[in-house]
Amino acid sequence: MMTGPTFHQLKKMDRNSALPPQFKLAVLGDCATQLLSTAIRGYASYIGLGMDVFDADYNQIDALVMDDHSELYDFSPDAVLLQMCTQKLYEGFCGTALQDRSSFAESVFNRIRGVWRRIGSRATILQCNFPLLDDGVFGQFGNKTADSFLFQQRKLNYLLMQGCQEAKNVYIIDLDSLQNQLGQGAFSDAKLYYIAKMPICVDALPVVAKRVLDVVQVLRGTIKKCVVLDLDNTLWGGTIGDDGLGGIQIGELGTGHAFSDFQTWLKELKNRGILLAVCSKNNESAAKEPFEKHPEMVLRLEDFSVFIANWEDKASNIRKIQQTLNIGMDSLVFLDDNPFERNLVRSMIPEVTVPELPEDAALYLPYLRQLGLFEAASYSAEDSLRTDQYRTQAERSAFEASFHSYEDYLAGLEMKAVAAPFDTFHYPRISQLTQRSNQFNLRTVRYTEAEVEALARDDSHICLYFTLQDRFGDHGLISVVVLDKLPQETLFISEWLMSCRVLKRGMEEFVVNKIMQIAVEQGFRKVIGEYLPTSKNAMVKDLYEKMGFTRRTENRFEADPAHFQYHKNYITEE
């Protein structure tokens, strides 16, 4: 399963990389981390990310973290990777008095949490957990006694999970599950620890680097949002057109169990907010029949946001899916058992991720589970509703067609919006939206949950979120605005983003009206907006001008709230 670049290739990529640094990572460990740092830098350039890495000297965690003027803070990292190794942990355990061992995990956890707190909001923290080392001293009885290292180590990994629920800027790099996947022999090399204090062997460094980069990438807003699925021999065994409803293998029939399991997994992804779409070469009615009539299908039509079955080429159909959902091409994953289709899509739309699905359907799941495609930096209760929100979009389109003018249509939607200051309940969703929005995003500032909370508590900002609902359903929280209070009665719009699924509904006008209203109420005389271009946000290049701001420089705009022409729109404020 270890495909991908070797350490040696990564080292070369690191040396030859000329990418401008876009992310600063500090690597701190109680073991030797130099080669890990090399692998991380190399892996970053392998995926096209310029990364500046500060590799701390051996065993300097406390010194660097405690001193406010240390090189660590001078470097001002975006994230700090903390690698404490199990070998060191074990030394500490053996040096602990017998009567204190049953609370060993708590005391180590408290120390680690002290490091997290000391770093505080200065950087995101990537905390490696501890790859399991069973010292064998108690045998399997170690599971049954709190005095064993086995027990304490497992508890510590659990405490880290528990602890980062509260410490919002801490993310776990799950080395334990990685070691589990690779096997201890492939993950570490005992002699390397004795010779060089390296807990991870050279050949495993690239996959460790990948795990770190997977998290870095979602923090930077690169997220998979939709899985596009073929049907025949991908979602069931056999061909619906030839084998018919009773002949396809799903559930009890033939190889069906593997496909049922695969569907169950996809449904879990859907429940956590990943959209599903069908892209199949079939007659539409035949393609839909199993979802409507087969009793053993796990997925049903309502689980899909878009369903395309026709005889056109798949690249064109994937473009259609992408346009319908209005999400980035690079947020799509395409799964198809047919190598021809996979290669076609890869060559026509290189941005789409196309995993090399194994030939044996029994291996689909083991293969996909370890790819780490669906990394997330946040999760909110609203995520499970996402499919419904995209599906009601289709109903809205039909409704729109029944009106003569777009204004009549907007009026008929009966839209209601809420504008409210950030509150605890919405921190996860606000953070998530700053990470997911790329197109309608004026300055593309990403916030972790901890940063959202800090903003909300800081009086020098006005932080607003917006929700929208209409006669077809609730869009939930779809826009975020952060206004910085500057001297001379000036408000600066330091964050404004909106989910693209509510475009052209008058929501942007509603938001601007609200900003101006607040500016007037709180006595501000000037509102400044700024557009910071990225490769994805060209759609809002001229937004401020369209909204009635005056262009001052190329990307800076100004408005006078006292004399602002409020925009007409069809949204009622609740």
Residues near another protein (CB under 8 A) are 7-8, 11-12, 15, 34-35, 189-192, 194-196, 198, 201-203
Nearer to another protein, 35 or 559 (CB): 35
Asked whether 197 and 246 are in contact (CB, 8 A), the reply is: no
Q: In whole angstroms, how close is the CB of 317 to another protein at the nearest point?
A: 43
Q: How far is the CB of 56 from another protein (least distance, A)?
A: 15
Task: Name the residue nearer to another protein (CB basis): 78 or 203.
Answer: 203
327 within 8 A of 500, measured Cβ to Cβ: yes
CB of 3 to another protein, least distance (A): 15
> By C-beta, is 12 or 88 nearer to another protein?
12
> Nearest distance from residue 194's CB to another protein, in Å?
6
Please state the closest distance from residue 561 (CB atom) to another protein, in A. Answer: 60
Instruction: Tell me whether residue 328 is exposed, middle or buried, using C-beta atoms within 10 angstroms of its C-beta: 0 to 12, 13 to 18, 19 or more.
Output: buried
Residue 28 phi, psi dihedral angles, 5° rounding:
-120, 135
544: helix, strand or coil: helix
Q: Which is nearer to another protein, 53 or 287 (CB)?
A: 53
Count other C-beta atoms under 10 Å from residue 531's C-beta: 23
Residue 444 has a CB neighbour count (10 Å cut-off) of 17
Task: Give whichever of 192 and 445 is closer to another protein, judged by the CB atom.
Answer: 192
Asked if residue 31 lies in contact with residue 83, where contact means CB atoms within 8 angstroms, the answer is: yes
CA 329 to chain centre: 15
Min dist. Cβ of residue 77 to another protein (A): 22
Please say which residue, 36 or 462, places its beta carbon nearer to another protein.
36
Q: What is the nearest approach in angstroms of another protein to the Cβ of residue 37?
A: 11
> Who contacts 328 (Cβ-Cβ below 8 Å, separation ≥6)?
225, 322, 351, 438, 439, 536
Between 148 and 188, name the residue whose CB sits nearer to another protein. Answer: 188
What span, in angstroms and rounded, lies between the C-alpha atoms of 358 and 1? 11
Burial class (CB in 10 A: 0-12, 13-18, 19+), 331: buried
Nearer to another protein, 189 or 508 (CB): 189
Rounded Cα–Cα distance for residues 230 and 355 (Å): 13
d(CA 150, CA 369): 26
Within a 13 Å sphere around the CA of 460, how many CA atoms are in the beta-carbon half?
6
Minimum CB separation of residue 11 from another protein in Å reads 7
Residue 1 CB, shortest distance to another protein, in Å, is 17
Q: Shortest Cβ distance from residue 442 to another protein (Å)?
A: 45
Q: Which is nearer to another protein, 5 or 529 (CB)?
A: 5
Residue 15 vs 111, nearer CB to another protein: 15
Q: Which residues of 226-240 are buried (b: 16+ CB within 10 A; e: fewer)?
A: bbbbbbbbbbbbbeb
Q: Which two tokens stand for residue 338?
A: 């047919």
Q: Which residue lies nearer to another protein by CB, 11 or 391? A: 11
Place of tokens 């997977």: 214
DSSP code of residue 77: -
What is the smallest separation between the CB atom of 81 and another protein, expressed in angstroms? 18
Contact in structure between 549 and 529 (CB atoms under 8 Å): yes
Q: 556 with 533: CB under 8 angstroms? A: no
